[in-house]
Amino acid sequence: MADAAVKEKPAAAEGERELTDGFNLLIEALKLNGLNTIYGVPGIPITDFGRMAQAAGIRVLSFRHEQNAGYAASIAGFLTKKPGVCLTVSAPGFLNGLTALAHATTNCFPMILMSGSSEREIVDLQQGDYEEMDQLAIAKPLCKAAYRVLHAQDIGIGLARAIRAAVSGRPGGVYLDLPAKLFGQVMDAEKGKQSLVKVIDAAPVQIPSSDSIKRALDVLKSAKRPLIILGKGAAYAQADDAIRSFVEKTGAPFLPMSMGKGLLPDTHPQCAGAARSTVLKDSDVVMLIGARLNWLLSHGKGKAWGEAPKKFIQVDIEPKEMDSNVEIVAPVVGDIGSCVGAMLHAMGAWPAPPADWVKTVTSKRDENVAKMAPRLMNNNVPMDYHGALGVLRDIVKARPDAILVNEGANTLDLARGIIDVYKPRKRIDVGTWGIMGIGMGYAIAAAIETGKPVLCVEGDSAFGFSGMEVETICRYKLPVCIVIFNNDGIYRGTDVNNASSDPATTVFVKGSRYDKMIEAFGGTGVNATSPDELRRAVNEAMDSGKPTLINAVIDPKAGSESGRIGNLNPQSALKKK
């Protein structure tokens, strides 16, 4: 009897063991690594996961479309330097999120797309499962890394690998494939806890070589017409004080790319934003800090850069970026903070740039600003872009802590040059791809991640890609003011189709009232027909902190095709003849 009793004890103890499952392990792994916000759309097989994550203290924001949730996660990564997390269902939901994942990778934003998926044994035999798709294979070419987790005990290491891949080196998007059966897998709770991984030093600094620092400074010091270009990589680095000190110590004119604006105020005496054409064409040494010589900078060659030979210095964490378009005579490879810090330390006494160059840039900048000023002060009705943007320029100046989200064609191109930014990471826009549809996702994430009010300036076409998310903004009561520049169409609302009774492909419903949309969800809608009405409506919205949508009525004739990139739109060879 005694022996029997002894033998029974282990079985009883086994039955009393505390258990856990894939749902809880993933939640605990996220929390362990400080990933406390998820953007996504619920559905099979991740609905219960969203509920459980919310109950466990993770903030789960439910969107109306996965692409918008993905854009939110991508810009959350840019703003926080932690991977933004997007959660989608399988197949169609995964595909909807994939555009945002590719966008994050292209723009170097850390992001993790987590998607439920069908079981491997069914997918591999192509047996026709619910939403069957080989998601891992599809994701791989479009992101920095892709992983699949098949066993609950591997959740911790799988998430750790995703985090490290997303933020280390050049940041980017990572896909994490989570088959449905994974969530329900059960294991011993203590062993499960031990399987979790807290990522240590996920994005280690990369110190530049001393030789590269000396070489870069020697080239910069030799310049007769130096120029520094600040890209969004410089803004992402959050090395704001060092970058400002370096730029000011050089005395060189600087040109901020659109999401690099605010590292030094656009009103800074060295800012050459209003003399962009002059400094690109006439400079002889150009230092790129966190900026790439892609299409946004005409690839570093051609008419925009003039005929004078140039020497390029490039500061970037990715060695393969060097010489991507033109020869880089002084590559500096490392993280932006370490590189700029090392250059500051090594500069010593630094000569002022030639006075004639500074005078040339300053004169051109002041001349262009003076030319633009009257256009920004006009009180035309219906409004043109300049009159409306002049109003928003003044509002942003008075509210430098607000986040400006901007997308569109003319609305983007003109706002980029007109609205000054005074602090880093306060302007977020379409980025490297120049895509449409980021507006509402960005606005939501900016409000959530920063706690600051958001001014979202949209073209009417751009708004159409994500407009249903105004319900999401109202549901979460976010301090977002959306201004839609409504000119009744894409570029212009005056195009005519002479072939049939259908409207022209670029024309929308005349006199649309987008402000009525937000009223349906309990937000505030305003129809603004003059600059004075626009100024009053935006200030009231920003003061109230309530979800607001302002329909800014713009002259349908005011736009131009594709803004500043109309040259990229090919013309018919027959038409030319």
Examine residue 382 and say whether the peptide bond preceding it is cis (omega within 30 degrees of 0).
yes
Co-location of 180 and 288 in the same domain: no
Co-location of 176 and 221 in the same domain: no
User: Average pLDDT over the chain, rounded to whole?
Assistant: 94
What is the domain-level CATH number for residue 65? 3.40.50.970
Is 40 part of a structural domain of the chain?
yes
Co-location of 191 and 245 in the same domain: no
Q: Can you give the residue range of the structural domain that contains 120?
A: 18-195
Last residue of a domain, one of 331, 363, 395: 363
544 to each of 211, 477, 571, how far by Cα in Å? Answer: 54, 11, 48
Residue 486 has φ and ψ, to the nearest 5°, of -105, 100
Residues 550/556/562/567 CA torsion (nearest 10 deg) = -160
Amino acid 148: pLDDT: 97
Is the per-residue pLDDT at 567 higher than 90?
no
Structure tokens at 413: 């191109």
Amino acid 283: pLDDT: 97
Helix, strand, coil fractions of the chain, as percent rounded to 5? 45, 15, 35
Is 7 part of a structural domain of the chain?
no
Query: Residue with structure tokens 């992402």?
Result: 236
Non-local (6+) Cβ contacts of 317 within 8 A are 169, 170, 206, 233, 333, 334, 335, 336
Amino acid 564: pLDDT: 64
Helices 385-398, 531-544: crossing angle, 10 deg rounding? 30
What is the domain-level CATH number for residue 332? 3.40.50.1220
Co-location of 231 and 260 in the same domain: yes
Is the per-residue pLDDT at 562 higher than 70?
no
Co-location of 68 and 148 in the same domain: yes
Co-location of 215 and 190 in the same domain: no
Co-location of 400 and 549 in the same domain: yes
Co-location of 403 and 359 in the same domain: no
Q: How far apart are CA 83 and CA 77, in angstroms?
A: 5
Is 49 part of a structural domain of the chain?
yes
Is 50 part of a structural domain of the chain?
yes
Structure tokens at 209: 């070589």
Amino acid 316: pLDDT: 98
Alpha helices in 210-302 (DSSP H): 210-221, 232-236, 240-250, 276-282
Query: Residue with structure tokens 């090919």?
Result: 570
% of the chain beyond a pLDDT of 70: 95
Alpha helices in 283-408 (DSSP H): 336-347, 355-376, 385-398
Q: Provide the phi-psi class of 131: left if phi over 0, else alpha when psi is between -120 and 50, else beta.
A: left
As a three-state string, the secondary structure of 399-425 is CCCCEEEEECCHHHHHHHHHCCCCCCC
- Residue 398, exposed/middle/buried by CB under 10 A (0-12, 13-18, 19+)? exposed
Amino acid 5: pLDDT: 45
Last residue of a domain, one of 164, 195, 226: 195
Co-location of 440 and 317 in the same domain: no
Positive or negative: CA dihedral 71, 97, 56, 479: positive
**DSSP sequence for 301-326:** -SGGG-SS--EEEEEES-GGGTTSSS
% of the chain beyond a pLDDT of 90: 90
Is 570 part of a structural domain of the chain?
no
Is 99 part of a structural domain of the chain?
yes
pLDDT digits (tens, 9 = 90+) for 173-226: 999 999 999 999 999 999 999 999 999 999 999 999 999 999 999 999 999 999
200 to each of 76, 168, 335, 337, 353, how far by Cα in Å? Answer: 21, 11, 18, 19, 43
Amino acid 575: pLDDT: 61
Residues 344/273/416/142 CA torsion (nearest 10 deg) = -50
Q: How far apart are CA 366 and CA 379, in angstroms?
A: 23
Structure tokens at 102: 């590719």
Name the domain count of the chain.
Answer: 3
pLDDT digits (tens, 9 = 90+) for 528-541: 999 999 999 999 99
Amino acid 118: pLDDT: 87
pLDDT digits (tens, 9 = 90+) for 94-117: 999 999 999 999 999 999 999 999
Is 304 part of a structural domain of the chain?
yes
Task: Give the angle 171-174-180 at the CA atoms, nearest 5°.
Answer: 160
Last residue of a domain, one of 195, 226, 260: 195
Co-location of 160 and 263 in the same domain: no
Non-local (6+) Cβ contacts of 220 within 8 A are 226, 250, 252, 285, 287, 313, 330
β-bridge partners, 526: 550
Provide the residue type at 545 as one letter.
Answer: G
Query: Residue with structure tokens 């219906």?
Result: 382
Co-location of 257 and 405 in the same domain: no
Amino acid 12: pLDDT: 42
Residues 132/138/140/143 CA torsion (nearest 10 deg) = -110
Q: 563 pLDDT band (50/70/90 cuts)?
A: low
Pairing, β 173-179 against β 254-256 = unpaired
Residue 405 has φ and ψ, to the nearest 5°, of -105, 135
Q: 402 pLDDT band (50/70/90 cuts)?
A: very high
Residues 405/529/463/572 CA torsion (nearest 10 deg) = -110
- Tell me which DSSP letter residue 263 carries: S
| Nearest of 444, 422, 477, 443 to residue 266 by alpha carbon | 422
Helices 439-450, 66-80: crossing angle, 10 deg rounding? 40
Amino acid 230: pLDDT: 98
Is the per-residue pLDDT at 520 higher than 90?
yes
Is 571 part of a structural domain of the chain?
no
Co-location of 494 and 525 in the same domain: yes
